[in-house]
Structure 1
Amino acid sequence: MVPPLHAVIVACPLQGHFNPTMNLAELLAMRGFFITFVTTEWIDERLLKAASKDAAARDREIQERGFKFRFIAIPDGLPLEHGRTSDVGELWLALQSLGPALESVLTVTDKSVPPITCIISDSYLSCTAEVAKNLGVPRVIFWTNCTAYATIQKNANFLLSLGYIPVKEEDLKSKDKLITCLPGKIPPIRPTDIVSFLREKYISEVIYRLTLYESRFQNIADYVLINTFEELEGGKDAQIGLRVNGCPAVAIGPVFLPNFLQGRNSMYSMWEEDKTCFQWLDAQLQGSVLYVSFGSMALKSEKQLHELALGLEACGYPFLWVLRSDIAEGKSLDLPEGFKDRTKDRALIVSWTNQLKVLSHPSIGGFLTHSGWNSTLEAISMGIPMIGWPYFGDQFLNCRFVKDVWNVGLDFEGVDVDEFKLVTKEIVESTIRSIMEGSIRTKLCENVARLKEAAHKAVMEGGTSYTNLNTFVEDMQKIAKSRV
């Protein structure tokens, strides 16, 4: 008798990585997998606090959903007072040492748990390669980024050998310098598209070395899953560049969308959400509101936030602004004097909210975003045009593709070269007007509507992502049978 499939899913403890990994876990649980979801103790505590639950209440909710699902939290080796996301380099370095702790908890005998079929690892958790090898199970890499970015990152050491890395300041300014040597059907890459941690100015920092180190282990896999959909990124040929020694590499996203289309909420978020904004949105005209959010980690100077606030005020449109308390480079934030009073009749500022629910609201007409991949996919899937304002990592590539490849958004000129370039209130105002009214908006809305339809079809029964995920399940079943 073949035992149930059992996927150990190891999540990277950052919001942009954690959410899609949880979505993938739920999709596999719905397909009959027993799931062991591994994260760090620090993240697990945040999850329970944000959900206002204890571990027992979480287990009951999982059982009510009919899932075979257990959480395992392991220490990340950092002191309690460490800021984690405030120093990604130190956090990332600590994560590379999780292998022994992970292997220890996975080798504890528990007769109620079926044998491990595979380890599904975030693409930035090199520690799982040795664990999978020692346990004799396939290592499945899950890219929470788009295919083009993942292809660049997987080949970072190859680009280093060719002299494209570290990315030089003069190359960043050259839009004519294109990289066309990468495998897979992806558009030509500009130096600004390469992950920002590999720019010359970071060469002496730990995050530069860690990015190249992780790239080596992104070439050790038995299967590759990508949170994108074929219709967005060049069909099946785009994913070819992510294969490792001929292993399958398939697009299975957007992984949040099946839950959304079936009216289900994902089980957990790392942040407490403000739900009051939805009554305010209900009172706004259709397509009239600009949603402004820069994710969980992006920082802006106080001067830049003042320019942004004045631009929002001048544009005249209603806006919902997610304004984290730590966004002003970790300092307390004072908005321009009188700003809140002058905009109180058409503005709402919250600390955090359910972004997907916001983007799906009929009053939302545009999205000013940091261009994280989750935010980009969510906006496309909800048919919302974007203004990109990237901060670090893969956000520069996502922003460029939104504007130049998919033609579903705009950006602020020059921020891809200098992420600290001051964007004036006048530019903020004029760009918002372009995305919220006139011929430019009409064209962007037409393009994003087509991609929205394609995304929905991809995750529905018979769609490319739906079929690809089912194929992965079938392949894991073959592995389980071969062991009997």
Structure 2
Amino acid sequence: MAKPHVLIIPYPAQGHVIPIIELAQRLVNQDVKVTVVNTEVTQKQVKSNALENDGFCDLLQSVSIPDGLEPWEDRSDLCKLTVSILQTMPGKLEELIETINKEDSNKVTCIIADYIMGWAIKVAKKMGIRRAVVWPASVTTLTSMLSCQKLIDDGIINNNGMPLNQQMIKLSETMPLIKPTNLWWTRFEDLPTSEAFFEVVKEAAEASRLTEWNLCRSTTELEPGALNLFPQLLPIGPLLASNRRADQVGHFWQEDSTCLSWLDQQPLCSVIYVAFGSFTIFNQTQFEELALALELSNRPFLWVVRQGMTKETTAAYPNGFVERVGSRGRIVSWAPQQKVLAHPSVACFVSHCGWNSTLEGVTNGHPFLCWPYFADQFQNEIYICDIWKTGLGFEKDEAGIIKRGEIKGKVEQLLGDNGFRAKAIDIKEKVTNSITQGGCVHKNLCNFIEWIKEKDTDAKNQHDTI
């Protein structure tokens, strides 16, 4: 008997690829065949940095289709990439499915698309294939996407998604207010990119209406108000949490695991872990202020400085910095973050507040120092600092720089108040209970997997009664 065969399609960004492959691995563990569909460039990045035992097997495979850009074109031009994906990939996905379906025992039975790849749901509907969408970021961010037409109708944003005034947005009585400038598609540096991503937002809202399952990586413990606003959203938990000591699949950069042995040598709950994800870019002044703040802290620190993190070709440390901090500081180009955050030596997390990093910090009970860069990260900071009260933000000076004294002071404030860690551990325990066997999130994921295995391709009625 043929196994169900799922195509799962992540947006080509590090913060989307890793959690969606984690979901794919959960399906494979339940005897579901999964093919991850990457862009050609993403596929090359993931394969070049894969570990020897990279998690792919007979039931978990990966393929690629073109994103429409030439190999030498710059994928960091998000406007060009987004427009090209919308124009090129739907047709290429349809061709891929037709090729796969020539083999009767291997036919695609379900498509799971990243919300930002919502166009894939139209392809699935056209081809009569079961469909689901998954959102790898916060539910609060997703609710703003699903409310995009209402925001237009209410005169809050224009037809291109741009705010018409500075009035705070109230999506529900049980959610924090949202600054118009914190709508994630408005947080890009140029208007064309923001408007291109708003086209993606509208596609996502339509995909939600055309699909049978709307999955999200959160829990009611973290975002109860947002989940109440759209009851069709099914929280399936962090996904990362139960696997945080295992090797991850999907990294765009090679992990430096030597930092783990360095962590083994540090005192319990002593290390400042500093990591800003795959997109954050610093100017040289800000980079130096951070370096000097870590030096002034007199605490051990592990700092991830990836290639391309500064606007300059190579990050330039302050004169004598590396020699002065010596073995107290460890700098790596990319870290096995789940394993780092699970290490008992880590005291706090200086983070850009991407949702992956936020969940990884939450599920390990760490307090945060929040340094958001773009998109949904500013709204995540509000949850960390104002709702969960497990972290602090930074204040910038008149030039937009976070100075070394500000950083040092917030480190001391965070680590000098046991209340932050106590709240962080409390939230960790609540989330952990939800994702373990018998918890609400665990049941949701099991129900979804059972639906994938159903023979009846029209399971809409069953879904509505779950």
Aligned residue type for 1:287:
C
Tell me by how many angstroms 1:315 deviates: 1.4
Aligned residue type for 2:31:
G
Q: Does residue 207 of the first structure (1) align with residue 194 of the second (2)?
A: yes
Tell me by how many angstroms 1:479 deviates: 5.7
- Cα pair 1:51 1:268 within 8 Å, conserved: yes
Tell me how far apart the structure 1 counterparts of residues 105 and 297 of structure 2 sit (CA, whole Å). 57
Tell me by how many angstroms 1:375 deviates: 0.2
> Judging changes above 3 Å, is the alpha-carbon distance between structure 1 residues 359 and 217 closer, same or farther for their aligned structure 2 residues?
closer
- Specify the alignment match of 1:70 in structure 2: 61
The secondary structure found in structure 1 opposite 2:215 is: strand
Aligned with 1:431 (options 397, 404, 410): 410
1:344-388 C-alpha deviation (Å, 9 max, x unpaired): 131011111101111111110011111100000000001111111
- Cα pair 1:9 1:36 within 8 Å, conserved: yes
> Judging changes above 3 Å, is the alpha-carbon distance between structure 1 residues 338 and 121 closer, same or farther for their aligned structure 2 residues?
same
> Judging changes above 3 Å, is the alpha-carbon distance between structure 1 residues 199 and 394 closer, same or farther for their aligned structure 2 residues?
closer
Q: Does residue 309 of the first structure (1) align with residue 291 of the second (2)?
A: yes
Tell me by how many angstroms 1:185 deviates: 4.8
Q: Does residue 162 of the first structure (1) align with residue 154 of the second (2)?
A: yes
Tell me how far apart the structure 2 counterparts of residues 20 and 151 of structure 1 sit (CA, whole Å). 19
- Specify the alignment match of 2:462 in structure 1: none
> Judging changes above 3 Å, is the alpha-carbon distance between structure 1 residues 48 and 477 closer, same or farther for their aligned structure 2 residues?
closer
The alignment's TM-score, normalised by the length of structure 2, stands at 0.90
- Specify the alignment match of 2:120 in structure 1: 128
Q: Does residue 250 of the first structure (1) align with residue 234 of the second (2)?
A: yes
Tell me how far apart the structure 2 counterparts of residues 212 and 349 of structure 1 sit (CA, whole Å). 39
Tell me how far apart the structure 2 counterparts of residues 269 and 209 of structure 1 sit (CA, whole Å). 26
Tell me by how many angstroms 1:413 deviates: 3.0
Aligned residue type for 2:110:
C
Tell me how far apart the structure 2 counterparts of residues 169 and 354 of structure 1 sit (CA, whole Å). 42
- Cα pair 2:79 2:196 within 8 Å, conserved: no
1:15-62 C-alpha deviation (Å, 9 max, x unpaired): 000011000101111122111211111111111111266xxx86xx63
> Judging changes above 3 Å, is the alpha-carbon distance between structure 1 residues 43 and 391 closer, same or farther for their aligned structure 2 residues?
same
- Specify the alignment match of 1:138 in structure 2: 130
- Specify the alignment match of 1:174 in structure 2: none
Equivalent positions of 1:160-199 (< 5 A) are 160-165=152-157, 171=166, 177-180=167-170, 182=171, 185-195=174-184, 197-198=185-186
- Cα pair 2:156 2:164 within 8 Å, conserved: no
Bigger CA drift: 353-362 or 212-221? 212-221
Tell me how far apart the structure 2 counterparts of residues 16 and 304 of structure 1 sit (CA, whole Å). 24
The secondary structure found in structure 2 opposite 1:426 is: helix
The secondary structure found in structure 2 opposite 1:311 is: helix
Equivalent positions of 1:46-125 (< 5 A) are 46-51=45-50, 62-63=56-57, 68-84=59-75, 86-96=76-86, 97-108=88-99, 109-111=101-103, 113-125=105-117
Aligned residue type for 2:411:
I
Tell me how far apart the structure 1 counterparts of residues 302 and 221 of structure 2 sit (CA, whole Å). 31
- Cα pair 1:321 1:348 within 8 Å, conserved: yes
Tell me how far apart the structure 1 counterparts of residues 94 and 235 of structure 2 sit (CA, whole Å). 28
Tell me how far apart the structure 2 counterparts of residues 480 and 32 of structure 1 sit (CA, whole Å). 18
Aligned with 2:243 (options 242, 252, 259): 259
The secondary structure found in structure 2 opposite 1:72 is: strand
Tell me by how many angstroms 1:481 deviates: 6.2
1:44-97 C-alpha deviation (Å, 9 max, x unpaired): 1111111266xxx86xx634xxx612211112121212231x212222222212
Tell me by how many angstroms 1:477 deviates: 3.5
Structure 1: where are the runs of 5+ without partners? Answer: 172-176
> Judging changes above 3 Å, is the alpha-carbon distance between structure 1 residues 133 and 337 closer, same or farther for their aligned structure 2 residues?
same
- Specify the alignment match of 2:8 in structure 1: 9
The secondary structure found in structure 2 opposite 1:313 is: helix
> Judging changes above 3 Å, is the alpha-carbon distance between structure 1 residues 348 and 107 closer, same or farther for their aligned structure 2 residues?
same
> Judging changes above 3 Å, is the alpha-carbon distance between structure 1 residues 202 and 42 closer, same or farther for their aligned structure 2 residues?
closer
> Judging changes above 3 Å, is the alpha-carbon distance between structure 1 residues 62 and 210 closer, same or farther for their aligned structure 2 residues?
closer
Aligned with 2:380 (options 386, 398, 417): 398
Structure 2: where are the runs of 5+ without partners? Answer: 460-466
The secondary structure found in structure 1 opposite 2:116 is: coil
Tell me by how many angstroms 1:431 deviates: 0.8
- Cα pair 1:138 1:223 within 8 Å, conserved: no
1:109-157 C-alpha deviation (Å, 9 max, x unpaired): 3436443332100110132032112211233111011111110122223
- Specify the alignment match of 1:233 in structure 2: 223
Aligned with 2:301 (options 294, 319, 343): 319
Aligned residue type for 1:191:
P
Tell me how far apart the structure 1 counterparts of residues 403 and 165 of structure 2 sit (CA, whole Å). 24
Question: What is the percentage of aligned positions where both structures have the same residue?
Answer: 30
Q: Does residue 289 of the first structure (1) align with residue 259 of the second (2)?
A: no
- Cα pair 1:129 1:217 within 8 Å, conserved: no
Tell me by how many angstroms 1:273 deviates: 0.6
Aligned with 2:442 (options 466, 471, 483): 466
Tell me how far apart the structure 1 counterparts of residues 213 and 59 of structure 2 sit (CA, whole Å). 23
> Judging changes above 3 Å, is the alpha-carbon distance between structure 1 residues 428 and 302 closer, same or farther for their aligned structure 2 residues?
same
Aligned residue type for 1:190:
K
Aligned length: 451
Tell me how far apart the structure 2 counterparts of residues 421 and 20 of structure 1 sit (CA, whole Å). 32
> Judging changes above 3 Å, is the alpha-carbon distance between structure 1 residues 79 and 330 closer, same or farther for their aligned structure 2 residues?
farther
- Cα pair 1:151 1:183 within 8 Å, conserved: no
1:182-238 C-alpha deviation (Å, 9 max, x unpaired): 26953332334321x3269744x133233244324333222100011121111xx63
Tell me how far apart the structure 1 counterparts of residues 391 and 294 of structure 2 sit (CA, whole Å). 18
Tell me by how many angstroms 1:160 deviates: 3.0
The alignment's TM-score, normalised by the length of structure 1, stands at 0.87
- Cα pair 1:383 1:448 within 8 Å, conserved: yes
